[in-house]
A and B are shown apart, each in its own frame.
Chain A
Amino acid sequence: MQFISDNSDLLWSAFLTTLSLAVLSGLVALVLGTVLAAMRVSPMLPLRGLATFFVETFRNTPLTVVFFFLVFGIVQLDLQFPSRFTAAVAALGLYTSAFVCEAVRSGINAVPPGQAEAARALGLGFGQTLTTVVLPQAFRTVVPPLGNVWIALAKNTSIAAGFATTELTAALQRLTNVNGNQILLVFAVIIAAYLVITLPSAWAIRVIERKVAIVR
């Protein structure tokens, strides 16, 4: 236990880094993924095409490759993120938005078409129909799949360890290097830290799901 208190600063800041990576890129992914889903169901072909291209690109590219591109690739284009942390948020956010998009889109498709028809018949435009009638109902069915996306994202933050961001997995590497005899304890602490992030969210998701359920 001595070992934990000796390294509490590193562990705590690594935990906060993992948490903020997950939360920030989760927000980016939620917003961007919803916009992409809206584009994919829009009546305008160019928007649909663009969103489909984006989603298929990020869904089918390994996350490590996305990191590589955003950290090293874009330097060729004379671009650079202000920090490795922001690059990591961007990589995780873009990558995850593709999965959010697909989850939200399946939620949109699960809303009976008569709902959107009734909204359009009242004179609501495409955007109003989507934001006031379709999306609020879609999100209700999408809570469980979005929960899975969130847990995957929390774990995917570990890729940032390979790109100079000291989050939990980087701390794990560092601590096991210098404390070979404590290796099991180090693992236990790091895994517990991940669980602290994912377990309460699994619980929160179940609560939200029960709260927002709609009777049909």
Chain B
Amino acid sequence: MSVTSAATGEPLVELSGVNKWFGELHVLQDVDLTIARGEVVVVIGPSGSGKSTLCRTINRLESIDQGRITIDGTPLPEEGKALAALRSDVGMVFQSFNLFAHKTILENVTLGPVKVRGKSKAEAEARARELLDRVGVGHQADKVPAQLSGGQQQRVAIARALAMDPKVMLFDEPTSALDPEMINEVLEVMTSLARDGMTMVVVTHEMGFARRAANRVVFMDAGRVVESSDPETFFTAPSSDRAKDFLSKILNH
């Protein structure tokens, strides 16, 4: 059963006819995908199928060769000020955390609000402490990233993204670099975000999270969206052979 509040149906992120090549490699092929406000979409698929690339095109860390991506009705701008402004509304959480190594935990979370949103330092710090408490690392605020465990670092990374009050959050395999005992603490934070109505695109192989928090599972293979259905249907009765094959492989270990 899904804990997520039902999405409103109004589209927030729209990809239509998206194609991308890395040289000869056609890494995204005619991708159409609409994510509604408040919706939680889990993207799964075999390694190299283009999940990370898809995720990264949504805030244009990767550019696309054909097609159109809009966020909240605005097409993604070219490089420059407008793109930076748009990115500030799209939170991103990376597999390898990517916390700023030379800054404290608190500074990691206040950097964006101060430099991009123009908030005062005091205001940004108050909010940062609130968010750090929320993800359970409030007492670590004055440490530097290397002093924290992977699970703690990833929760800080989530707080850093939340500090920008994003419209949508992108997660690219947020738990793949973590020791098993730390996976749950991160998934719990993500589940609570989903419950609060955050729009989320999550690349993950955590089936428990998908069942618990996702409205929809998107299955990718070889650069294409092969299947898009609610988690229950996807896990119990996948329609494509490739999804069946993939599921039998990951569920059998």
User: What is A's interface to B at a CB cutoff of 8 Å?
Assistant: 43, 112, 114-115, 117-125, 128, 132-133, 136-137, 140, 214-216
Binds A, one of B79-87, B130-138, B192-200, B227-235: B79-87
Bits for B68-101, please: 1 = Cβ < 8 Å to A, else 0. 0000000000011100111111111010101111
Chain A residues within 8 Å of B101, by CB: 115, 137, 214-216
Is the pair B146, A117 in contact by a Cβ cutoff of 8 Å? no
Given A43-B79, A132-B115, A215-B147: A123 touches B102 (CB 8 Å cut-off): no
**Residue of A122, A140, A214 with highest tally of chain B CB at under 10 A:** A122
Q: Is B6 an interface residue (CB 8 A)?
A: no
Given A117-B61, A125-B84: A136 touches B92 (CB 8 Å cut-off): no
Question: Smallest distance from the beta carbon of B25 to chain A beta carbons, Å?
Answer: 20
Is the pair B116, A123 in contact by a Cβ cutoff of 8 Å? yes
Question: Smallest distance from the beta carbon of B3 to chain A beta carbons, Å?
Answer: 27
Contact of A137 among B81, B102, B157 (CB under 8 A): B102
Is the pair A114, B160 in contact by a Cβ cutoff of 8 Å? no
> What CA separation (Å) do A196 and B79 show in the bound complex?
50
> What CA separation (Å) do A124 and B84 show in the bound complex?
6
Q: Is B225 an interface residue (CB 8 A)?
A: no
Chain B residues within 8 Å of A123, by CB: 84-89, 112, 116, 164
Chain B residues within 8 Å of A133, by CB: 100
Q: Is B215 an interface residue (CB 8 A)?
A: no
> What CA separation (Å) do A140 and B87 show in the bound complex?
28
Given A114-B94, A114-B96, A215-B144: A121 touches B102 (CB 8 Å cut-off): no
> What CA separation (Å) do A215 and B103 show in the bound complex?
11
Q: Is B36 an interface residue (CB 8 A)?
A: no
Q: Is B4 an interface residue (CB 8 A)?
A: no
Chain B residues within 8 Å of A122, by CB: 87-88, 111-112, 115-116, 160-161, 164
**Residue of B99, B100, B161 with highest tally of chain A CB at under 10 A:** B100
> What CA separation (Å) do A214 and B81 show in the bound complex?
31
Question: Smallest distance from the beta carbon of A59 to chain B beta carbons, Å?
Answer: 29
Chain A residues within 8 Å of B94, by CB: 114, 117-118
> What CA separation (Å) do A137 and B100 show in the bound complex?
9
> What CA separation (Å) do A135 and B140 show in the bound complex?
25
What would 18 A/B residue contacts be, using CB atoms closer than 8 Å? A112-B98, A114-B94, A117-B61, A118-B157, A118-B160, A120-B61, A120-B84, A120-B87, A121-B59, A122-B88, A122-B164, A123-B84, A132-B115, A136-B102, A214-B102, A214-B146, A215-B144, A215-B146
**Residue of A112, A125, A216 with highest tally of chain B CB at under 10 A:** A125
